[in-house]
Amino acid sequence: GQGRGVVVATGARTEIGRISTMLSAIEPLTTPLLKQVNRFGRQLTVFALLTAALLFVFAVTVRDYGRLEAFMTVVALAVGFVPEGLPAVITITLAIGVQRMAARHAIVRQLPAVETLGATSVICSDKTGTLTRNEMTCRQLVTQSSECLASGAGYAPLGTLERQGGGAIDAGTLMLARTGLLCNDAALSESAGHWQVTGDPMEGALLALALKAALNPQAEQAAHPRRDVIPFDAAHRYMATLHADANGGALLLLKGAPERVLAMCTEALSADGIATTPLIEADWHAHIERLAVNGQRVLGFAFKRLANAEHIDETQLNGLTLAGVIGFIDPPRPEAVAAVADCHGAGIAVKMITGDHAATAQAIAAQLGLAAAPLVVTGAELDAVSDADLPALAERTQVFARTSPEHKLRVVRALQSQGAVVAMTGDGVNDAPSLKQADVGIAMGHKGTEAAKEAARIVLADDNFASIVAAVSEGRVVYDNIRKVLAWTLPTNGGEVMAVISALMLGLTLPLTTAQILWINMALTITLGLVLAFEPPEDGVMRRPPRPARAPLLTPFMLWRLALVSALFALAIHAVMLWGQVRGLTLEATRTLVVNAMCALEIGYLFSVRYLHGNSFTWRGALGTKAVLYAILIVLVLQLAFTYTPWMQALFDTRALDLSDLLIAPALGALVLLLLEIEKTVLRRLGYFDELRGSTSNSPE
């Protein structure tokens, strides 16, 4: 069409400008993982530098090492202890998570958001299209004289109208369906057996209803050609059209919010479609409330016969005849119901934020399983709540109805002030501020605007709530795998460093040379540590509560495992040194055996750490993933070259070993694996399991 407008504001004073101002005022958030890694990196660096300095002084002053020799040794130890490959491994782990999430319809725009999803404790979701199918269906028709139920679902015009109490469909009901058909700008089409609507979903549902009522859209539109229209506007909450009537006059049709339509009517249409009766507003408000409580969105329909008119005049929009009201359902997605249950099982709160009527939103929330009796707070009620009181209200509320973008932003900030990690969904330009404020902003891929996608960290390819929950699960797996990388890297490095430090302190021969320490750090740590990024999810990943946002990267269990494994590795290395002396091996051959023993110990510990708290002695644990098996094969080839090729022997001062000596290495690796599995079993049976890992979870992980 055509139109004329008056510019009333420009730039920052426009609605888009106001939203832009809100966006610029929001500070970007640092993800929990980045905070933890940064803090951990600083602490570990300080510890490594202080330890290296003290060891240098001790080696020079007490053990009479040369300054250069002592310096090279402590530098090698520092390099061996600090996991400099950790940032690369974390990045690779996150990238693998991105790939897995993409397969589950969640497109990640910012890499750290992968892990943040795993820490999510609250998901604030839009209703229409995300929790529901976004396929409106006319379900219940109420006129002055009857009520009818429409069968069928979606936009397919398959189904019938059945009058409650029996009997034929009366003329009043047909007039109600005709009003919805003509006061309509949508189009319904079929493609490959799938019916789809072009235009507003509710108007598409009205077209399907007309076909169920045996009305012919082409014939009706030909008999009542449109002359004028007042498009729907949120300011006046109705749409009106003017049509030519068969008797030579004009027919004014109107649909809109039921409360607004009732205010414009003075009478209601009777069953014969001609006579009218005085309108009793209280009765109709009761009908509207009843439909809304059943989870239906309600539209009111009215008309007025005019002698003749070519254009709609505002004076004609009074004294209308009410044709009736229609209740629409947008059924919950079956997978969304299951996903909400998964969230509750995982300790994640789900809150629905919608522009719908409070009663409708409450009914849908109950169907979705958000709560048995969901607590609903409207936008008007939010306006009356102070910022100080809002966090407590937001925490206990499941549904926010009739909300604006400002309301969404306030709710997100209130939840974050309580320590929650909030994921927020949105699709419109107005949602951009709350998407940016949330820890994880999630934009809709189908119906989302570019502004919403730009502000979000994740875009849903299918606009489905179940995809959010699937992405949360993947985020938890990513974080678990990062913790496994840490749980493997720090103790293996620590055991190597502890063995050298203890030898230095006790005045023993160093079990490793500087070059051999660097070989272990380069060849073993990178290959074996990296494969943990490919680990599949453990059982019960979505049956435990989300980790606290401020939880340390090293839990009590991780610290205990760091001390225990480091000590076991150091003892094993000293045992190998003793074995070499007993066997009469040269120092070079003994050190070669130590490096091979370290390789076997790290492989044995790798199989244990794949299940930090579960049993590794299973077929799944023994076989491992393909990545684990490939990495072990690569390490074995490297170690054979390290031990037996002349150029590696010259480079690292190694010697060829007899098979009888070399078999000590896998025996030690198997022994460490057995001891750690016994340790896990003992801790579990003594009840220290949850306490040591720093969690209240009862999952079997």
Which residues, in sequence order, are CB contacts of 521 under 8 Å at separation 6+?
79, 80, 493
SS3 454: helix
| Terminal Cα distance for the chain, rounded | 62
Measured between alpha carbons, how far is 188 from 199 in angstroms, rounded to an integer? 9
CA distance 430 to 129: 17
CB atoms closer than 10 angstroms to residue 288? 23
Q: Where are the alpha helices (DSSP H) in 401-545?
A: 405-417, 432-437, 450-455, 465-506, 514-519, 525-530
SS3 annotation, 15-55: HHHHHHHHHHCCCCCCCHHHHHHHHHHHHHHHHHHHHHHHH
Query: How would you class 694 by CB atoms within 10 Å of its CB: exposed for 0-12, middle for 13-18, buried for 19 or more?
Result: middle
CB 458 within 8 A of CB 114: no
Name, in order, each residue with C-beta under 8 angstroms of 124's C-beta and a sequence gap of 6 or more: 351, 352, 353, 408, 411, 412, 415, 422, 423, 424, 425, 438
- Find the radius of gyration of the CA atoms of the chain: 35
Q: Bridge-partner residues for 320, per DSSP? A: 265
Indicate the residue type of 68. L
C-alpha closest to that of 593 among 494, 511, 503:
511
Distance CA 594, CA 664 (A): 10
Which residue type, as a one-letter code, is found at position 222?
Answer: A
DSSP code, position 140: E
SS3 sequence, 110-121?
CCCHHHHHHCCC
Helix (H, G, I), strand (E, B) or coil at 128: coil
Q: Using DSSP, state whether 196 is helix, strand or coil.
A: strand
- CA of 310: how far to CAs of 114, 226, 370, in Å? 59, 10, 51
Assess whether 658 carries a catalytic annotation. Answer: no
* Residue 491, φ and ψ in degrees, nearest 5: -65, -40
Q: Contacts from 274-280 at CB under 8 Å and sequence distance 24+?
A: 274/171, 276/321, 277/144, 279/322
Catalytically annotated residue among 64, 126, 313, 480: 126
- Compute the distance between CA of residue 621 and CA of residue 624 in angstroms, rounded to an integer: 5
Catalytically annotated residues: 126
